[in-house]
Chain A
Amino acid sequence: MSDRNLLVGPFNRVEGDLEIRLEVADGQVAAAYVNSPLFRGFEPMLLGKAPQDALTITPRICGICSISQSAAAAQALAAAAGATPTPQGALVAALLHGVENMCDHLTHFNLFFMPDFARPAYQGRDWHDHAISRFTAMQGSGLRQATEARAQLLHIVGLLGGKWPHTLAIQPGGVTRAPTARDRIRISSTLAAFRRYLEDVLFGAPVEDFIALTTGEAARNWSTGDAGTFMQIADDLGLASSGPGPGRYLSFGAYPMEDGRSFGPGLWEADSWRAVNTDEIGEDLSHAWMLGKTAHPRDGQTEPDEDMSDPGYSWCKAPRLAGQTIETGAFARQVVDGHAMALDLARHGSSVFARVAGRLLEIARTQVLLEKWARDITPEARFLEQVAVPQEGVGEGLLEAARGSLGHWLRIEGGKIAGYQIIAPTTWNFSPRDAGGVPGPLEAALVGAPVAEDEDTPLSVQHIVRSFDPCMVCTVH
């Protein structure tokens, strides 16, 4: 087999632009370089603006996870003001955010990930005809059902947030919309309809049955619904040994409420949990087209290197936790939260299979959470506290977007934004090399992926890239 270099991209069915350079030797990837070719400069443009404007500007980093960005901005502002949202405000914010995350997972599975299995290259496999009818891009019956179910579920965001994408309702002190008893009923009935979709179509069984699985083996044996189709395909193609991760899983914890976070925060490594100290975060710029030194995001700057000089090869910075790469996302979140099935999968290492199975697990668990939150809405309560933004202050907003850990670091001086740094989930997962030459998580995951002699856009690479559910517009922003 000949050695060669491949330039894979642009990737469609990915939010934003992505290009990957592959060094191929002996029929497999020997090294990968991930380039995020889109830079807009949100961090510099926030400087000098009124702090509250972050609530409107940062969501526009991304049209698919805009509520995550808006909630992180609200949290950073609240932290700077030393305030917390009202309990019911936090509850409604969680509902809004949970619905968005659910929709993102559904979009990923049906519109971005599964269509690759309908490709002609898989002709002759037992499942191929079924994959074609369910998941052919833009036409498959599964795609239509998912898009429809998602649009219905987003009515909840419409109701509570006025519009989606780019919802404005989440504020440092809570949410602008105080739901009525009537809203509560409407939300519950929308959730009931969504449960029917999940149980009839995606899982083919009660979501509780999927949540009750305790081992990777049990997940692999799941046979009903579209989830069952995925398990069958994953088994046939050996996706459980494709695209390994660094074995360190990060979660900032999802859905902050009065009594803690519904999916707990932490770092999982070598079968043990530890708390995350965000002081250990550093953004390395050695291989990014960015000027400056490695810095904590509190002190970080974003100054693009207009010469795009070597050894830089991406606009993406390289965040590291205590100097190490980490994997973040739905699977990492379920591992850190300690779900038995996720932990069992983690013991065998992260993979394309584990990431998608983790996402399915989270869909099931989120449905149960959303239903509980809807029941807990108390229309008489206060949903928003006035929060006076201070003239001087710093704040950190940490939460879990659909694709993983999202952090906003805000510094206010003289009543204006003097520093604003954002680390998005895909910034972690798709980061370039650091000063020590250590590749980012995706770059490492691609090493060893098989590339056939006649392949220019290797299928194995497509599956691995999409298993992370990248959001490139968030990555660099």
Chain B
Amino acid sequence: MVPVRPETKMGPVGGRQLSQIETFYDVMRTQGITRRSFMKYCSLTASALGLGPAMVPTIAHAMETKPRTPVIWLNGLECTCCSESFIRGAHPLAKDVVLSMISLDYQHVLMAAAGHAAEAALDEAMEKYKGQYILAVEGNPPLNEDGMFCISAGKPFVEKLRHVAKDAKAIISWGACASYGCVQAAKPNPTQATPVHKVITDKPIIKIPGCPPIAEVMTGVITYMLTFDRLPELDRQGRPAMFYGQRIHDKCYRRPHFDAGQFIEEWDDENARKGYCLYKMGCKGPTTYNACSTIGWNEGTSFPIESGHGCIGCSEDGFWDQGSFYDRVTDLTQFGVEKNADQVGLVAAGVVGTGIAAHAAVSALKQAQKKSQSSKEEV
């Protein structure tokens, strides 16, 4: 039962002394999480990531021995829906653990400090974990009028974003805002709201689109990155393939009705009561890559199609400017159930070179780490 003390295994990290190394497991223990809960958490994580029981000891070992990866969470032009989704987390335990891990550094919506003290905490975290931290961005910077539409601590958010991104190891773009722009970028995009990857071009960025993203996807991705210290496999758009590999349509429980040509013709009609397909009501499930139809929302309770409303495609780029949300999808080409976004995209665009972006991102993350470690060793 006695955990292996981490300092017997690890070399110096981030310029700190051996005795000061703080692992994920240490953090969890100080948060009052028991060994039993910890092991349960590792199993949950393994299953959420589709890794299977054999990976549980690997995850546990990593969390006991690896130094905690710090996370800084910034909010730009946004509606806080990502934070809201995140704090009602997946499993209560997963939420507690992940929150306690990320909470230690900087989280605008929930943290204790206010005003200048909060800004000081940010500077301190950046300095202490230079090159080591993951930057999680909720919302995006508006560039119009020199960024004056989103001012944080007297400066345009875009400056804060650039400043904090400079020393980050990798960036997570939470939600449709950070990933693509979202509704605030709808024509005429009054503030010129711009996704993170168009402003920060020299860091590995993982996109977790959705408005908001599913809580389990958020905790799953962040746990994966913290545990394995690398990005999960990404598709060509930079989304984690494990969650965005299939269309809503592919795993939709109403799919048999689509195949049988049984559709709802108008709201709350006889067919709606029978649970027929919502395609004619404008459902964007056939063109949307996300995990709603498998993971579900609000701890797996339901998802929009199950509530009788079509999918609006909120995890796809440009979903806000595709005509009315109630227009039928007309450019639907039939693909097999097992095709992922890359394959479909390739067929559509006729491009070769799948996964280049993903591999580049992963190696960039690794390089970034190597660089920071070797620079530390030189000192």
Out of B119, B267, B298, B323, name the residue touching A171 (CB < 8 Å).
Answer: B267
Task: Report whether B81 and A63 are in contact in the complex, using a CB–CB cutoff of 8 Å.
Answer: yes
Task: Report whether A37 and B308 are in contact in the complex, using a CB–CB cutoff of 8 Å.
Answer: no
Task: Report whether B103 and A138 are in contact in the complex, using a CB–CB cutoff of 8 Å.
Answer: yes
Complex-state Cα separation, A151 to B154, whole angstroms: 35
Min Cβ gap B347→A in Å is 29
Complex-state Cα separation, A55 to B87, whole angstroms: 25
Given contacts A138-B99, A162-B306, A166-B314, contact A52 B297 (CB under 8 A): no
**A163 at interface by CB-CB < 8 Å:** yes
- Which residues does chain B contribute within 8 Å of A200, judged by CB atoms? none
**B187 at interface by CB-CB < 8 Å:** yes
Which residue from chain A places its CB closest to the CB of B189 in the assembled complex? A45
Selected interface stretch from A204-212, A255-263, A382-390, A420-428: A382-390
Selected interface stretch from B8-16, B72-80, B358-366: B72-80
Given contacts A10-B152, A64-B80, A159-B302, contact A176 B116 (CB under 8 A): no
**A419 at interface by CB-CB < 8 Å:** no
| Per-position binary interface string of chain A over residues 38-78, scored 1 when its CB falls under 8 Å from any chain B CB and 0 otherwise | 11111011001110110111001111101000000000000
**B378 at interface by CB-CB < 8 Å:** no
List A residues 95-113 near B (Cβ within 8 Å).
Answer: 111
**A340 at interface by CB-CB < 8 Å:** no
Task: Report whether B309 and A13 are in contact in the complex, using a CB–CB cutoff of 8 Å.
Answer: no
**B203 at interface by CB-CB < 8 Å:** no
Task: Report whether A15 and B109 are in contact in the complex, using a CB–CB cutoff of 8 Å.
Answer: yes
Given contacts A151-B92, A383-B268, contact A40 B306 (CB under 8 A): no
| Per-position binary interface string of chain A over residues 419-456, scored 1 when its CB falls under 8 Å from any chain B CB and 0 otherwise | 00000000000000000000000000000000000001
**B375 at interface by CB-CB < 8 Å:** no
**A245 at interface by CB-CB < 8 Å:** no
Task: Report whether B118 and A12 are in contact in the complex, using a CB–CB cutoff of 8 Å.
Answer: yes
- Which residues does chain B contribute within 8 Å of A384, judged by CB atoms? 267-268
Complex-state Cα separation, A159 to B304, whole angstroms: 9
Out of A10, A157, A473, name the residue touching B118 (CB < 8 Å).
Answer: A10
| Per-position binary interface string of chain B over residues 100-143, scored 1 when its CB falls under 8 Å from any chain A CB and 0 otherwise | 10010001111111111111000000000000000000000010
Complex-state Cα separation, A287 to B194, whole angstroms: 28
**A300 at interface by CB-CB < 8 Å:** no
Q: Which of A61, A115, A158, A173 lies at the interface centre, i.e. has the most chain B CB atoms within 10 A of its CB?
A: A158
Complex-state Cα separation, A48 to B268, whole angstroms: 28
- Which residues does chain B contribute within 8 Å of A13, judged by CB atoms? 109-111, 114
Task: Report whether A176 and B308 are in contact in the complex, using a CB–CB cutoff of 8 Å.
Answer: yes
Selected interface stretch from A122-130, A142-150, A268-276, A391-399: A142-150
- Which residues does chain A contribute within 8 Å of B326, judged by CB atoms? 50, 52
Out of B80, B112, B297, B304, name the residue touching A62 (CB < 8 Å).
Answer: B80
- Which residues does chain A contribute within 8 Å of B312, judged by CB atoms? 56, 168
Complex-state Cα separation, A111 to B83, whole angstroms: 13
Task: Report whether B117 and A457 are in contact in the complex, using a CB–CB cutoff of 8 Å.
Answer: yes
- Which residues does chain A contribute within 8 Å of B297, judged by CB atoms? 158, 162-164
**A185 at interface by CB-CB < 8 Å:** no
Task: Report whether B151 and A166 are in contact in the complex, using a CB–CB cutoff of 8 Å.
Answer: no
**B325 at interface by CB-CB < 8 Å:** yes
**A296 at interface by CB-CB < 8 Å:** no
Task: Report whether A44 and B188 are in contact in the complex, using a CB–CB cutoff of 8 Å.
Answer: yes
Number of B positions contacting A (CB below 8 A): 80
| Per-position binary interface string of chain B over residues 299-320, scored 1 when its CB falls under 8 Å from any chain A CB and 0 otherwise | 1011111111100101000001
Task: Report whether B190 and A40 are in contact in the complex, using a CB–CB cutoff of 8 Å.
Answer: yes
Task: Report whether A16 and B301 are in contact in the complex, using a CB–CB cutoff of 8 Å.
Answer: no
Task: Report whether B304 and A163 are in contact in the complex, using a CB–CB cutoff of 8 Å.
Answer: yes
Out of A11, A169, A173, name the residue touching B115 (CB < 8 Å).
Answer: A11
Out of B108, B212, B323, name the residue touching A12 (CB < 8 Å).
Answer: B108
Which residue from chain B places its CB closest to the CB of A57 in the assembled complex? B183
Say which size band chain A's interface belongs to: 35 or more
Out of B88, B96, B268, name the residue touching A174 (CB < 8 Å).
Answer: B268
- Which residues does chain B contribute within 8 Å of A385, judged by CB atoms? 267-268
Task: Report whether B116 and A155 are in contact in the complex, using a CB–CB cutoff of 8 Å.
Answer: no
Complex-state Cα separation, A42 to B116, whole angstroms: 30
Task: Report whether B81 and A166 are in contact in the complex, using a CB–CB cutoff of 8 Å.
Answer: yes
Q: Is the interface of A mostly helix, strand, loop or mixed?
A: loop
The tally of CB-CB contacts under 8 A between chains A and B is: 235
**A414 at interface by CB-CB < 8 Å:** no
Task: Report whether B303 and A154 are in contact in the complex, using a CB–CB cutoff of 8 Å.
Answer: no
**B324 at interface by CB-CB < 8 Å:** yes
Complex-state Cα separation, A158 to B84, whole angstroms: 14
Given contacts A66-B81, A166-B211, contact A39 B301 (CB under 8 A): no
**B82 at interface by CB-CB < 8 Å:** yes
Min Cβ gap A48→B in Å is 8
Task: Report whether A163 and B109 are in contact in the complex, using a CB–CB cutoff of 8 Å.
Answer: no
Out of B110, B114, B306, name the residue touching A111 (CB < 8 Å).
Answer: B110
Task: Report whether B305 and A162 are in contact in the complex, using a CB–CB cutoff of 8 Å.
Answer: yes
- Which residues does chain B contribute within 8 Å of A301, judged by CB atoms? none
**B193 at interface by CB-CB < 8 Å:** yes
Out of A45, A50, A154, name the residue touching B190 (CB < 8 Å).
Answer: A45
| Per-position binary interface string of chain B over residues 244-270, scored 1 when its CB falls under 8 Å from any chain A CB and 0 otherwise | 000000000000000000000011100
**A295 at interface by CB-CB < 8 Å:** no
Complex-state Cα separation, A383 to B266, whole angstroms: 13
Task: Report whether B298 and A165 are in contact in the complex, using a CB–CB cutoff of 8 Å.
Answer: no
**B331 at interface by CB-CB < 8 Å:** no
Complex-state Cα separation, A45 to B266, whole angstroms: 28
Task: Report whether A144 and B114 are in contact in the complex, using a CB–CB cutoff of 8 Å.
Answer: no
- Which residues does chain B contribute within 8 Å of A383, judged by CB atoms? 268
**A279 at interface by CB-CB < 8 Å:** no
Which residue from chain A places its CB closest to the CB of B92 in the assembled complex? A148
Min Cβ gap A232→B in Å is 21
Task: Report whether B142 and A40 are in contact in the complex, using a CB–CB cutoff of 8 Å.
Answer: yes
Min Cβ gap A56→B in Å is 5
- Which residues does chain A contribute within 8 Å of B100, judged by CB atoms? 138-139
Complex-state Cα separation, A190 to B301, whole angstroms: 12
Task: Report whether A139 and B31 are in contact in the complex, using a CB–CB cutoff of 8 Å.
Answer: yes
Which residue from chain A places its CB closest to the CB of B104 in the assembled complex? A138
- Which residues does chain A contribute within 8 Å of B95, judged by CB atoms? 147, 151
Out of A41, A52, A111, A306, name the residue touching B184 (CB < 8 Å).
Answer: A41
Which residue from chain A places its CB closest to the CB of B278 in the assembled complex? A176
Min Cβ gap B198→A in Å is 17
- Which residues does chain A contribute within 8 Å of B271, judged by CB atoms? none
**A402 at interface by CB-CB < 8 Å:** no
**B272 at interface by CB-CB < 8 Å:** yes
| Per-position binary interface string of chain B over residues 141-158, scored 1 when its CB falls under 8 Å from any chain A CB and 0 otherwise | 010010011111110000
**A330 at interface by CB-CB < 8 Å:** no
Which residue from chain B places its CB closest to the CB of A162 in the assembled complex? B307
Complex-state Cα separation, A356 to B55, whole angstroms: 48
Q: Which of B83, B99, B308, B324 lies at the interface centre, i.e. has the most chain A CB atoms within 10 A of its CB?
A: B308
For the complex of A and B, the 3 pairs showing the least CB-CB separation, nearest first, are A63-B81, A158-B298, A41-B190
Q: Told that A151-B92, A176-B272 touch, could you supply 15 new A-B pairs with CB distance under 8 A?
A: A12-B108, A17-B151, A19-B151, A37-B150, A37-B152, A42-B184, A50-B323, A57-B320, A62-B81, A111-B110, A119-B112, A136-B112, A138-B103, A147-B95, A164-B297
27 pairs, A vs B, C-beta closer than 8 Å = A10-B108, A12-B113, A13-B110, A13-B114, A16-B80, A19-B154, A38-B150, A39-B191, A41-B190, A44-B188, A45-B186, A52-B326, A57-B320, A64-B80, A136-B112, A139-B31, A139-B103, A158-B301, A163-B307, A164-B297, A165-B81, A168-B307, A169-B308, A176-B272, A178-B308, A384-B268, A386-B267
Binding site for B on A (CB under 8 A): 7-13, 15-17, 19, 37-42, 44-45, 48-50, 52-53, 55-57, 60-64, 66, 111, 115, 118-119, 136-139, 144, 147-148, 150-151, 154-155, 157-169, 171, 173-178, 304, 306, 308, 315, 382-386, 456-457, 462, 473
